[in-house]
Amino acid sequence: MHIKTALAASVAALSYVTIAHANPQAEVLHWWTSGSEAKSVAVLQQEFAEKGGTWTDMPVAGGGGDAAMTALRARVLSGNAPTAVQLKGPAIQEWYAEGVLADISAVAEAQGWAKVLPESIANHMKCDGTWCAAPVNVHRVDWIWANKVLLDQHSIAMPNTWEEFNAAADKLKAAGVTPLAHGGQSWQDATVFETVVLGIGGPDFFRKALVDLDKDALTSDTMVKVFDQMRKMRGYVDANFSGRDWNLATAMVMNGEAAFQIMGDWAKGEFLAAGKTPGTDFLCGSTPGDGYLYNVDSFAMFKVDGQDKIDGQNLLAELIVGPNFQKVFNMNKGSIPARTDVALNDFDDCAKLSAADMGTTSDAGSLLPSYAHGMALRGAQAGAITDVVTAHFNSDMSSADAVKMRAEGVANSM
């Protein structure tokens, strides 16, 4: 009996040693599939491998992440969740409420995340006071990108107001140039829409309408003016915009097929990946109006079985918020670090402008979460708004009817 007990103990000890020294494993679900995005996520893959980890990539195409979320739900329902998933904003809290997220507080506390992350960003990463996600970056959404050669040819300056944008677009259209590169996908429509809301209504109006879902703001004359501007925007895109991916729209600006694109700073990653230089080949500036719309990419860790997967989660979390990855990744991706202690000396001028504006708007109270990119609202609420935005953009629906329909949709989603 003593021999069997000793043998069992030896086997148990051997098993423990084997598990403890197993390579960290991580199956990572994300939607970074464009050229610059794939290059950026490869940085994390390389660091993970250098630390002895084995990475299983699970990319799901679709810039807005809708297809990825469908794939994720299927995996979770089958009891086989990925190790780490690209999630953000209220979606993190929604998955936490379903009891499927892991607690990575030990890593966060050991690495001092609370000291190096802005409070507003850190709050998105916490679930009932525990850390459940790791922030990768901060993207600015309200950017306008331009082909410098086209603008110089037509003596056009970067617009500071929507009136200036309309005048520039009308001039370009009359000259046979497509003013606005756009992809007819709902999340891209929403991206343009929220920048118009911010520019026409201002930061306080944006917060009331697209964060607080205030009925008076949603049904106001200001919102009618927003849809009036969206009708103008529809007239500035080319006939083949339907279904176009965002990076293909960026390529139109890059190749001189269109003058402007309204898109988050992941578009800059495409320019940089193609060897283009800000200020020389392309121009960047905030869309007309005050404020800053942010979109924070992050990875939430799901509950998994096996010490090798848990070790993989912890290693991923440590690397994601590590200073080196924050710098290298964001230089490739076009965004800026979530950490405030990363030096920006090697970043381009657009990134430096973004960081400066983030600080200024944070102090002014006009640093705002993007509704179009899942930072401000839960899925049903955001969807109710976007459905009407896209319907209006692709029809002759009046602005007044769009405002009425959108208010009703939001009320039904509450």
Tens of pLDDT, residue by residue over 303-328, are 999 999 999 999 999 999 999 999 99
What 8-state DSSP symbol labels residue 51?
T
Asked if the model's pLDDT at residue 269 lies above 60, the reply is yes
284 closest CA partner among 234, 241, 336, 242:
336
196 closest CA partner among 67, 372, 323:
372
Q: Is the pTM of this model over 0.85?
A: no
DSSP-based three-state secondary structure for 396 = coil
Asked if the model's pLDDT at residue 277 lies above 50, the reply is yes
Distance in angstroms (rounded) separating the CA atoms of residues 337 and 319: 13
Asked if the model's pLDDT at residue 253 lies above 70, the reply is yes
According to DSSP H, which parts of 349-398 are helical? 349-364, 379-393
Q: What is the mean pLDDT of residues 357-370?
A: 90
Where in the chain are all domains bearing CATH 3.40.190.10?
Answer: 2-139+296-350, 140-294+352-413
Three-class secondary structure assignment of 52-120: CCEEEEEECCCCCCHHHHHHHHHHHHCCCCCCEEEECCHHHHHHHHCCCECCCHHHHHHHCHHHHCCHH
Q: Residues 384, 398: contact at Cβ < 8 Å?
A: no
Residue 355 φ/ψ, nearest 5 degrees? -65, -40
The CATH architecture of the domain made up of 140-294+352-413 is 3-Layer(aba) Sandwich (3.40)
CA dihedral 139, 143, 149, 151 (to 10 degrees): 180
Asked if the model's pLDDT at residue 10 lies above 80, the reply is no
pLDDT tens per residue, range 207-229: 999 999 999 999 999 999 999 99
Q: What is the mean pLDDT of residues 241-257?
A: 96
What was the pLDDT predicted at 174? 98
Asked if the model's pLDDT at residue 284 lies above 60, the reply is yes
Q: What is the mean pLDDT of residues 381-385?
A: 95
Q: Provide, for the chain, the percentages of residues in helix, strand and coil under a 3-state DSSP scheme, each rounded to the nearest 5.
A: 55, 15, 30
What was the pLDDT predicted at 5? 42
Q: Which fold has domain 2-139+296-350?
A: D-Maltodextrin-Binding Protein; domain 2 (3.40.190)
Radius of gyration for the alpha carbons in the chain, expressed in angstroms and rounded: 23
What was the pLDDT predicted at 331? 87
Predicted confidence band at 8 (pLDDT cuts at 50, 70, 90)?
A: very low
Predicted confidence band at 35 (pLDDT cuts at 50, 70, 90)?
A: confident
What was the pLDDT predicted at 64? 63
- Of the candidate ranges 34-43, 146-155, 227-236, 237-246, the one whose mean pLDDT is the lowest: 34-43
Distance in angstroms (rounded) separating the CA atoms of residues 139 and 63: 14
Beta strands per DSSP E along 153-257: 178-180
What was the pLDDT predicted at 259? 98
Query: How many CB atoms within 10 Å of residue 147?
Result: 24
Q: In what order do the strands lie in the sheet with 133-135?
A: 54-59, 25-30, 84-87, 298-301, 133-135
Asked if the model's pLDDT at residue 16 lies above 50, the reply is no
pLDDT, averaged across the chain:
91
Distance in angstroms (rounded) separating the CA atoms of residues 100 and 301: 9
Predicted confidence band at 6 (pLDDT cuts at 50, 70, 90)?
A: very low
Q: What is the mean pLDDT of residues 253-263?
A: 98
Strand partners, 242: 184
Which residues does 301 contact at the CB level (< 8 Å), separation at least 6? 83, 84, 101, 102, 104, 132, 133, 134, 313, 316, 317
Q: Positive or negative CA dihedral for 54, 57, 63, 67? A: negative
pLDDT tens per residue, range 125-183: 999 999 999 999 999 999 999 999 999 999 999 999 999 999 999 999 999 999 999 99
What was the pLDDT predicted at 109? 97
What 8-state DSSP symbol labels residue 283?
E
Distance in angstroms (rounded) separating the CA atoms of residues 91 and 312: 22
Asked if the model's pLDDT at residue 9 lies above 80, the reply is no
Higher pLDDT, 7 or 408: 408
What was the pLDDT predicted at 4? 42
